[in-house]
Amino acid sequence: MGRSYWLLRNRWMMMAAGVWIMCCSGGSYLYADYSGAIKDNLHYDQETLDTVAFFKELGENVGLLSGILYDVWPLWAVFLLGACQVSSGYLKAYLSVSGATASPQPWAMSLYLGIGANGQTFFITAVLVSLVKRFPMSRGMVIGVMKGLVGLSAAVLSQFAKAIYPQHSTSDSSKIILFLAWFPASIVALSYVFFSFQPTEERDKDGNYIDPECEEDEPLFLSVIAGSMISLAAFLLTIIMLQNTVRPFPQLLSLGVCFVMLTLLLFPLGVVYISRINTSRSLGNGNTFNAMASLLPAPYANKPSTVSPPSVHRSDDSYGTFSRHSTPNLARVDSFQRQFPARGEDHTVWQALCNLDFWLLVAISMIGLGTGLTAIDNVGQVGSSLGYSEASINSFVSMVSIWNFLGRLGAGALSEFALHEKGLPRSLFIMLALMVLALGHTILAVSFPGALYLGIVLIGSSFGAHWSLIPTATSELFGLKHFGTLLNAVTMASPLGSYVMSVHVAGFFYDAESQKQHPSRQTSNSLIRRSLQLLRPMRSLIADKVSLQNQSNMSCTGAVCFRLTFFIMAGACGLGCILSAILVARTRKFYTEVVYETCQLRRACSVSRSRHNDTEQPSDSTESVPFASNVTT
């Protein structure tokens, strides 16, 4: 019973469960796998299919509700609502595509997929915020791993779906929608138990507080988990390339692929086992050393305990927040004469909205994520316009997914190392990611031989880096109390930036060049017009079917199709670099004097704990090392 209870409360078990949930939270990225079944069974033209995809992307990117509900609802309710949305949305879509129910109007199919895609934002928000609160001093690495798994989840889910429901024809791909209706919800239901028993504070057998931020092997354990996920990404990349070559892919090999993936996904359980051994050794030394004791002033360090219980200057509402209690230097960081919280302290939504740092992050998110998503969404069309084969285009799409994952993971790990070792601001890495993104857009605009390969690497990795760095910076600047709401508020700028760049830039110039090459055909003005056509009664859509089909058949060839678009997006990224430089200047002092010093104190307490456990023998000593609630440093 004791071991089972420890397992339910262990934060590394929570991390393993988070890995499994995140690997099931990217079902919306499988749209390309089942869109053919929607097109054939519901008789949609390409333009209508693209508009349905737009509303699906809108659902997956607007997660503000999940952040708000996370702040006011219990965790089980957030997971339950997300599971209900995912299951109901995709199940209704499957019944429509399979013919079990009457064929829906396009706006209804858009609603079904939008609801299903929006449900995954509840999973992502709940897991991400919960893990950051349990690993507050390694939030960059944690967010990098978790966000990376979201990008990798499409490849993971695709392999499981194809093993459970073999794909022999285009119509069989509708079973993928059914798979999305039950598989993610099932994994969440099984994994939730490891979140429900997580404590907000831990004590040893003597009642002393154990600070989870001072676990000596935490960076090593996170590196092991990250390494196993990199191995999973490399394995999936190899399998995807093999599946593009060997057609049809044997069903027995698909089952073998699933077995290998399960093995790699269960690898974090090894970390749980090692942490159990370390905990047992630590508790075997008698009175567990209070890691924060080394940070106390000398007069208090060796005094017997006179105050009970001890306090770590952290409440449930400010879990892992950089506050002025964390380090003496934070007292020097003023904020509008204390009318508003200082950087690193918990901000309410209104206080964040009144902060320039928040709007800088919103603008950077709109530029970086918007231009990156536009480029990624148009990889297929760029490859087609440059004359690449269908197999090569499929490989490009797979490469984008893998580099997206590596960018998310690498940016989180690299920025964490630089911050802990050198005190470099997280915002500096956001600026570097924008520079790399601008370079990738420029390379695709110039379009020299082999430019698409290099451009995909740069754009995919820098786009993924944004998804790791922006959430981390948001948690560090505005605290963790309302992290879920603020994160989703910042990243809501992503679909807005993507819409502007896709419709009013990429779509406009692509249509203009296409019309030059096909002067006898007309082009639609924008996605707004297509959306209005989608929402019209079905009779109007049928009446316009011939003209829409002519529009959807129009294509552009040559590097000129997207050249001006990529130059404009490169210029937008240049503007983003300027905004991020302003953010660096505003937050440099906070990172060097607050976050960096806190990291150094954490390292000192880890070393102290290690030396104490190595040298102290179990004894009946009456001395203890308190961390009194009335002690200030």
256-295 pLDDT, tens per residue?
999 999 999 999 998 888 887 776 665 555 444 443 333 3
State the CB neighbour count (10 A cutoff) for residue 453: 13
What pLDDT is attached to residue 384? 80
Q: What is the dihedral of CA 521, 527, 532, 536, to 10 degrees?
A: 60
pLDDT 10s digits, 37-85: 888 888 887 667 777 877 888 888 888 899 999 989 999 999 999 999 9
What pLDDT is attached to residue 610? 56
Query: Of 193-202, 302-311, 588-597, where does the model show the most confidence?
Result: 588-597
What pLDDT is attached to residue 288? 43
138 CB-near residues (< 8 Å, 6+ apart): 218, 219, 222, 416
Distance (Å, whole) CA 43 – CA 99: 12
Residue 126 and residue 145 in contact, taking contact as beta carbons nearer than 8 Å: no
- 238 or 293, greater pLDDT: 238
H or E element: which one contains 32? helix 31-42
Instruction: Give the 3-state secondary structure of residue 217.
Output: coil
Instruction: Give the 3-state secondary structure of residue 480.
Output: coil
Average pLDDT over residues 580-597: 88
pLDDT 10s digits, 295-343: 333 333 344 444 333 333 333 444 445 554 444 444 444 444 456 788 8
Residue 591 is given by DSSP the state I
Two structure tokens written together for 473 = 């910076």
Residue 319 and residue 133 in contact, taking contact as beta carbons nearer than 8 Å: yes
591 CB-near residues (< 8 Å, 6+ apart): 419, 423, 424, 425, 426, 427, 476
CA 592 → CA 174, 192, 468, distances in Å? Answer: 53, 37, 20
Average pLDDT over residues 234-246: 84
Average pLDDT over residues 154-179: 84
Has residue 536 got a pLDDT over 60? no
What pLDDT is attached to residue 380? 75
Helices (H), 378-389: 379-385
407 CB-near residues (< 8 Å, 6+ apart): 433, 460, 461, 462, 463, 464, 465, 467, 468
pLDDT 10s digits, 403-431: 888 899 889 889 988 888 888 899 999 99
Helices (H), 99-173: 106-134, 139-164
What's the predicted TM-score (pTM) here?
A: 0.75
Has residue 1 got a pLDDT over 70? no
Ramachandran angles phi, psi of 520, nearest 5°: -85, -5
Q: Which domains does the chain have, with CATH numbers?
A: 12-200+218-275 (1.20.1250.20), 341-518+559-610 (1.20.1250.20)
What pLDDT is attached to residue 242? 85
479 CB-near residues (< 8 Å, 6+ apart): 318, 321, 322, 341, 344, 345, 346, 347
State the CB neighbour count (10 A cutoff) for residue 535: 14
Least confident of 209-223, 425-439, 590-604: 209-223
Which residue, chain included where needed, has tokens 């910042």? 490
CA angle 318-320-323, nearest 5°?
A: 65
Which residue, chain included where needed, has tokens 């210029």? 571
Ramachandran angles phi, psi of 210, nearest 5°: -105, 120
- pLDDT interval class at 109 (50, 70, 90): very high
**What is the average pLDDT value for the chain, to the nearest integer?**
77
